[in-house]
Amino acid sequence: MAESHKDKVIIVGCGPGLKSYISPKALYNIKKARILVGSRRLLKLFPGVDAEKVVLEKNYGVLVQKIAEWSRSKQVVVLVSGDPCFFSYTRMIVRKMGRERCTIIPGISSMQLAFAAAGESWDDACFISLHGRNDKYEQLVKKVREYNKVGILTDHKNTPAVIARHLIKQGIQKRQMFICKNLSLPEESIHETDLASATNMNTSGSAVVIIKNTNHEIR
Ligand SMILES: C[S@@+](CC[C@H](N)C(=O)[O-])C[C@H]1O[C@@H](n2cnc3c(N)ncnc32)[C@H](O)[C@@H]1O
């Protein structure tokens, strides 16, 4: 099962948080790292990996350039939360290095886990990220009007309460809301509510929100 990654970066999806959600294939590839890049939280998951550890902070641009250079001579492995192809800086690495120099190992996305926790299929859903994006509310309203289910990545500013208030202000009323916090972690919570009740909800930590139109007929 030896795989050649000469000149290639390996981008590994580390799932939503709990280590047992990381696939054996991902773990196998992480062990090959000579340079391991990731957030502090992700790097802490692999204390036994004998590699130089590089912490990813807000230095994406510079780091992507360095990853491209380092990977010419050393095996670089980049750790990404959830799935690499779902709202992550993987696209910056692929754009910089080219698809042929990137090996991507999928991971379980926080979005997948949220839909599983809510007991909802996600094949008919639409997605948006408000993580670090305050300018996406117009798009959000459009998607919520158009789709039966919308999965939303949130952050400390664009919280479930802020989202609920915005949708109500835009005249959207009857929607079910699932607030899925800290998925897979000991402090996990799944809250099923409606927009009006969510407006005053205090949330902290990572959260995925699912907005569902309960009036929608099953076709
Ligand atoms: C930069 S995005 C990364 C998404 C990631 N690529 C994925 O597939 O889950 C970060 C956002 O993912 C969501 N997230 C990540 N881990 C989570 C968790 N354990 N529980 C709830 N939401 C999570 C939060 O909305 C967080 O702000």
At 73-101, the pLDDT tens digits run 999 999 999 999 999 999 999 999 999 99
Substitution site in 41, 110, 189, 210 for ligand 1 pocket (most atoms within 8 Å of beta carbon): 110
CB 158 less than 6 A from any atom of ligand 1: no
CA distance 206 to 187: 11
The answer to whether residue 3 scores a pLDDT higher than 80 is no
Strands (E), the chain: 9-13, 35-38, 52-55, 76-80, 102-105, 126-129, 149-153, 176-181, 189-194, 207-212
Which residues touch 29 (CB under 8 Å, ≥6 apart)?
A: 10, 12, 77, 103, 105
Q: Enumerate domains of the chain plus CATH numbers.
A: 9-108 (3.40.1010.10), 111-212 (3.30.950.10)
At 126-139, the pLDDT tens digits run 999 999 898 899 99
185 CA closest ligand 1 atom index:
19
Q: Return the bridge partners of 38, or none.
A: 55
CB 21 less than 6 A from any atom of ligand 1: no
CA distance 183 to 65: 32
CB 148 less than 6 A from any atom of ligand 1: no
At 197-214, the pLDDT tens digits run 999 888 777 899 999 998
Nearest CA to ligand 1 atom 16: 16
CB 128 less than 6 A from any atom of ligand 1: no
CB 154 less than 6 A from any atom of ligand 1: yes
Rounded to the nearest angstrom, the gap between the alpha carbon of residue 41 and the centroid of all alpha carbons in its chain is 14
DSSP string, 78-98: EEESB-TTSSSTHHHHHHHH-
Place of tokens 């992550």: 88
- Calculate how far, in angstroms, residue 2's C-alpha sits from the geometric centre of ligand 1: 31
Computed over its alpha carbons, how large is the radius of gyration of the chain? 19
pLDDT confidence of residue 60: 83
A 10 A CB-CB count for 69 gives 10
Substitution site in 12, 39, 81 for ligand 1 pocket (most atoms within 8 Å of beta carbon): 81
DSSP state of 19: G
CA distance 45 to 42: 5
- Classify residue 158 by burial, with Cβ atoms within 10 Å: 0-12, 13-18, 19+: buried
3 state DSSP class of 217:
coil
pLDDT confidence of residue 215: 77
At 158-210, the pLDDT tens digits run 999 999 999 999 999 889 999 999 999 999 999 999 999 999 888 777 899 99
Substitution site in 152, 155, 208 for ligand 1 pocket (most atoms within 8 Å of beta carbon): 208
